[in-house]
């Protein structure tokens, strides 16, 4: 385990994750056994890890999500959510959850969802009687729905690491994502009754004409995930080609339908998307080098043998894998865990009879919980920043959502039909 020890040491020194992969791997080559590799192989292996047609979809999906966000889709989704949920006591919290689900189906990013929706909904929820920490915690929790609902960047990364169909993973994420959405909306309604809000909060009554206008205004943005999944499963294009089509469609909607940006704004939006994409790509490249060292050092096999030595019961082994992923998710960035843990745990999962597509959903759900569980808790950090609160203020109000998420994780883990019904139906 010298490789992992050097990796943890480098992270403890505050070095970014991507470079921690490279530095710890090179230290291992210099100090330990060469494993038939030398330092000249670092760049070659890292580059080969990026030489994938599937990976091209990531910057395209990120760019499409940024374009739709710049195109004013958030306001339209909030109005549509308010129309659906009406003016009940807990409407504003439900609107936040529903809008996060809609936006997740467009952006595929959790942190982006929290930042975009939270900046609007947290002040609005506070006006309607919600305590600011409770509002920020709700938005942080709802944000992770975005990495289960397709198109999901983490599911693409898992598909790359496991060789699993991206289209099947996209379909598998829909059921669990909708289940989480419903559970969070019900939890919000329960908390609203337990901690009474002023009655009648939420959206004012609208006429039939206004309702029709709200629906029509939101439809162009909501058609994007339909275009992506429909195109993939009709055979019109691959997931990567679907991502490129999504960018083209987002430009058309933003420029000619919503008229929210001009062509001159595209370089600025593209630059922001490029920075986000580059961060992910650097992690993937150097994690490929780190993963090669793990394979040569037979670390995945060693961990599998260790887990099997504890128990051979599929129920308890699944629980152990969940615990391992939850622990990692509390400390390490999502993309990093996917690239490290997939080659370690997937063979064991297959040995237990878990479908690789189902295991992908289990893995992403675990990492989603990590997004709202300190100390890493990326969604909580974003929610704290946009709400002007300290992280400690969110520790208590986020707890009900963490507990609910853990219960849902067990349901998703042990009821594979929730994930596998759509992939099986469309096979």
**pLDDT given for residue 141 in this prediction:** 93
- How far apart (Å, rounded) are the C-alpha atoms in residues 418 and 283? 31
Find out whether 161 and 343 touch, Cβ atoms under 8 Å: yes
**pLDDT given for residue 17 in this prediction:** 73
Structural domain includes residue 33: no
- How far apart (Å, rounded) are the C-alpha atoms in residues 187 and 190? 5
Structural domain includes residue 20: no
- The DSSP call for residue 149 is S
Lowest model confidence (mean pLDDT) among 43-57, 215-229, 334-348, 382-396:
43-57
Residue 32 has pLDDT above 70, yes or no: no
- How far apart (Å, rounded) are the C-alpha atoms in residues 294 and 340? 9
What's the pTM? 0.84
Domain region containing 358? 38-425
One-character DSSP codes across 333-386 = -HHHHHHHHHHHHHHHHHHTT--HHHHHHHHHHHHHHHTTSTTT-HHHHHHHHH
Structural domain includes residue 298: yes
Q: What is the mean pLDDT of the chain?
A: 85
Q: How confident is the model at residue 1 (pLDDT cuts 50, 70, 90)?
A: low
Q: How many domains does the chain have?
A: 1
Structural domain includes residue 230: yes
Structural domain includes residue 18: no
Q: How confident is the model at residue 9 (pLDDT cuts 50, 70, 90)?
A: confident
**Average of per-residue pLDDT across 31-43:** 67
At how many degrees (to 10) do helices 153-162 and 266-296 cross?
Answer: 30
- How far apart (Å, rounded) are the C-alpha atoms in residues 391 and 367? 19
Q: Quote the percentage of the chain above a pLDDT of 90.
A: 26
Q: Strand, coil or helix: what is 14?
A: coil
Structural domain includes residue 123: yes
- How far apart (Å, rounded) are the C-alpha atoms in residues 368 and 15? 24
Residue 357 has pLDDT above 50, yes or no: yes
**Average of per-residue pLDDT across 124-147:** 88
Q: How confident is the model at residue 384 (pLDDT cuts 50, 70, 90)?
A: confident
Q: Quote the percentage of the chain above a pLDDT of 70.
A: 94
Burial class (CB in 10 A: 0-12, 13-18, 19+), 263: exposed
**pLDDT given for residue 415 in this prediction:** 95
Burial class (CB in 10 A: 0-12, 13-18, 19+), 193: exposed
Residue 365 has pLDDT above 60, yes or no: yes
Structural domain includes residue 12: no
Name the strand (E) or helix (H) holding 417.
Answer: helix 417-425
**pLDDT given for residue 201 in this prediction:** 47
Neighbours of 145 (CB within 10 A): 28
Residue whose pair of structure tokens reads 């504890």 in the numeric block: 310
Find out whether 80 and 338 touch, Cβ atoms under 8 Å: no
> Which of 163 and 377 is assigned the larger pLDDT?
163
Residue 30 has pLDDT above 80, yes or no: no
**Average of per-residue pLDDT across 150-156:** 88
Summarised one tens digit per residue, pLDDT across range 156-183 is 999 988 989 999 999 999 999 999 999 9
Residue 87 has pLDDT above 70, yes or no: no
- How far apart (Å, rounded) are the C-alpha atoms in residues 233 and 253? 23
Structural domain includes residue 17: no
Q: Which two tokens stand for residue 237?
A: 């294009």
């Amino acid at each position: 385990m010298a490789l992992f020890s050097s990796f943890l040491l480098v992270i403890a020194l505050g070095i970014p994750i991507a470079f921690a992969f490279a530095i710890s791997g090179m230290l291992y080559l210099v100090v330990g056994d060469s494993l038939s590799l030398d330092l000249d192989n670092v760049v070659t292996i890292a580059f080969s890890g990026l030489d994938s047609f599937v990976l091209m979809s990531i910057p395209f999906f990120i760019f499409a999500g940024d374009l739709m966000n710049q195109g004013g889709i958030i306001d339209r989704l909030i109005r549509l959510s308010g129309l659906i949920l009406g003016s009940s006591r807990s409407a504003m919290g439900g609107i936040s959850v529903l809008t996060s689900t809609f936006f997740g189906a467009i952006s595929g990013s959790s942190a982006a969802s929290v930042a975009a929706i939270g900046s609007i909904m947290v002040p609005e929820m506070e006006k309607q009687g919600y305590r600011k920490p409770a509002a920020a915690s709700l938005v942080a929790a709802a944000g992770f729905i975005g990495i289960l609902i397709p198109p999901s960047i983490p599911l693409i990364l898992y598909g790359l690491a496991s060789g699993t169909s991206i289209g099947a993973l996209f379909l598998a994420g829909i059921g669990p994502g909708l289940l989480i959405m419903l559970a969070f909306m019900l939890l919000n309604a329960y908390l609203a009754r337990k901690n009474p809000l002023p009655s009648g909060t939420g959206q004012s009554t609208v006429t039939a004409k206004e309702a029709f206008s709200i629906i029509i205004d939101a439809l162009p943005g909501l058609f994007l995930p339909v275009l992506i999944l429909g195109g993939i499963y009709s055979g019109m294009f691959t997931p990567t080609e679907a991502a490129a089509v999504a960018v083209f469609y987002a430009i058309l909607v933003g420029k000619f339908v919503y008229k929210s940006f001009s062509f001159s704004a595209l370089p600025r939006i593209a630059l922001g998307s490029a920075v986000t994409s580059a961060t992910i790509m650097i992690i993937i490249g150097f994690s490929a080098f780190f993963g090669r060292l793990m394979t040569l050092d037979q670390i995945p096999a060693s961990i599998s043998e260790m887990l099997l030595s504890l128990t051979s019961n599929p129920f308890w082994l699944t629980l152990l894998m969940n615990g391992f992923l939850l622990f990692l998710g509390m400390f390490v960035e999502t993309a990093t865990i996917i690239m490290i843990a997939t080659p370690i745990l997937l063979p064991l999962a297959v040995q237990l009879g878990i479908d690789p597509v189902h295991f992908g959903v289990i893995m992403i759900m675990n990492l989603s919980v990590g997004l709202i569980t300190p100390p890493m808790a990326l969604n909580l950090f974003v929610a704290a920043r946009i709400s002007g609160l300290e992280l400690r203020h969110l520790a208590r109000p986020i707890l009900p959502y963490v507990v609910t998420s853990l219960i849902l994780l067990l349901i998703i883990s042990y009821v594979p039909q929730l994930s596998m019904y759509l992939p099986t139906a469309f096979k």
